[in-house]
Structure 1
Amino acid sequence: MSGHGFHVHGPHDHELEHAASGGHGNHGGHGDAPETPAGGMSMTSKIAVCTAVIATVGAIFSYMGGATQANAGIYKNNAAIKKTEASNQWNYFQSKSTKQALAEFARDTANDDRKQGWQDKVARYELEKTEIQTTAKKLEAEANRWDAQSEEQMHQHHRWAQATTVLQVSIALAAIALLTKKKWLERAMFGVAVAGLAVGALAAFHI
């Protein structure tokens, strides 16, 4: 306070007023707080929102990857079951072939009055072999279809896994961009995220 009744502000007075007002009284609009673009979000807010979206999409991709892997295992198991059933049928076929061969031998060495009986058995075994062979081939075809579906699901699983990994890299870049405030890292984050979405689209379309 001067002798003429007016107050002279010193530097410390300005600092006290600045602290009392919560740090909003900067001089001429040139304070130390980071500026936010007019009508938009700051870099930090933008990256935070994008990271949340990427993490959500990544979680969906991860779920799809797990589901397709489980399906591949189920289909492969179904194929194994059908292969076992087909193998059993071929063993049965071989057994009938052996019986048919024995019946043919008995027919050829039997008396004339018994030849017809053995011939009937030979014909019956031949008919049974045809039916067994048809069943075995049908089971093999089913096994091949299950194998093909399993391979397709595994391929799709790999695509989902690749997409999830790329999105995780994007999230890591986002964290580094937040710490370093580098614009090129922010752009790299968006680029990698787009690549992850593209790989996810390939998985969705079974490509």
Structure 2
Amino acid sequence: MSHEAGAVEGGNKKVALLIGVLALFLAFSEQGGNEAQTNSLAYNVEASNLWAFFQAKTIRGTVVRTAGEQLDLNLQAMTDPAQKAAAEKRLESWKQTVARWESEPDTGEGRKELAARAKSAEDKRDYQGRKHDHYEVSSAALQLAIVIASSSIITGIGGLVWLAAGLGVLGVAFMAIAAFAPMAVHLF
């Protein structure tokens, strides 16, 4: 075996090791991206459900408020004191119900609390979406790095190894951004 053949074989082992390391980081990036995407979808469903509940409370409140306004108009025409007292009691009950639907801190199911919870779920969804975007860029860079490193073995062009290593560093950097500071960098 010549010295030149041994050098090529030793270089190929280093490139193979680089490919293995890149593949390891790619696996982490793909797993992080899948988790972030799943979380983003879950928070999106949560936000949608909360906004639907908010809308239902709004509709119910509007219906009861409208019925109360109609009952209030009918009160002037009532002459029977017992009937008038019952209508006033009903009207007061409806007003309390509408007020409770506006804000229910005990249950977290008033319109005010539902809107805050929905906005919080949207913020979590957006955060996870950003993580997913960064993991996607990371995975793309790592996949390209693996292909280019593999090409360097076939072609024997040493510069491709450096390009692959650079893309690998870029991929790992985006993976770190996704994991630790996804809101710091805006891609799209």
TM-score, reference length from structure 2 = 0.86
Q: Report the Cα offset of residue 33 of structure 1.
A: 4.6
Q: Deviations over 1:110-132 (max 9, x none)?
A: 12725443322222211111001
Q: Deviations over 1:12-54 (max 9, x none)?
A: xxxxxxxxxxxx5xxxxxx4752439xxx82111000110111
Structure 1 gaps, min length 5: 1-23, 25-30
Distance 2:4 2:172 in 1: 35
Q: In terms of Rg, which structure is larger?
A: 1
* Greater displacement, 162-171 / 109-118: 109-118
Matched position secondary structure for 2:5 = coil
Q: Report the Cα offset of residue 149 of structure 1.
A: 0.8
Q: Does residue 107 of structure 1 match 2:78?
A: no
**Higher RCO (C-alpha under 8 Å, 6+ residues apart):** 2
Equivalent residue for 2:171? 196
Q: Does residue 141 of structure 1 match 2:116?
A: yes
2:5 corresponds, among 15, 34, 41, to 34
Distance 2:93 2:162 in 1: 77
- Code of the residue aligned with 1:124 in structure 2: it is S
Q: Report the Cα offset of residue 78 of structure 1.
A: 0.9
2:100 corresponds, among 117, 120, 131, to 131
Higher helix residue share: 2
Distance 1:32 1:191 in 2: 29
- Code of the residue aligned with 2:91 in structure 1: it is V
Equivalent residue for 1:27? none
Q: Deviations over 1:159-190 (max 9, x none)?
A: 00110000011011101111121221111111
* Greater displacement, 57-66 / 135-144: 135-144
* RMSD over equivalenced CA pairs, Å: 1.9
1:10-49 superposed matches below 5 A: 31=2, 33-36=4-7, 42-49=10-17
Percent of residue pairs bearing the same amino acid type: 19
4+ long deviations beyond 6 Å: none
1:68 corresponds, among 10, 18, 36, to 36
Q: Report the Cα offset of residue 146 of structure 1.
A: 1.0
Q: Report the Cα offset of residue 206 of structure 1.
A: 3.0
Distance 2:80 2:141 in 1: 81
Q: Does residue 163 of structure 1 match 2:134?
A: no
Distance 2:4 2:102 in 1: 83
Equivalent residue for 2:26? 58
Matched position secondary structure for 1:191 = helix
Distance 1:59 1:52 in 2: 11
- Code of the residue aligned with 2:41 in structure 1: it is G
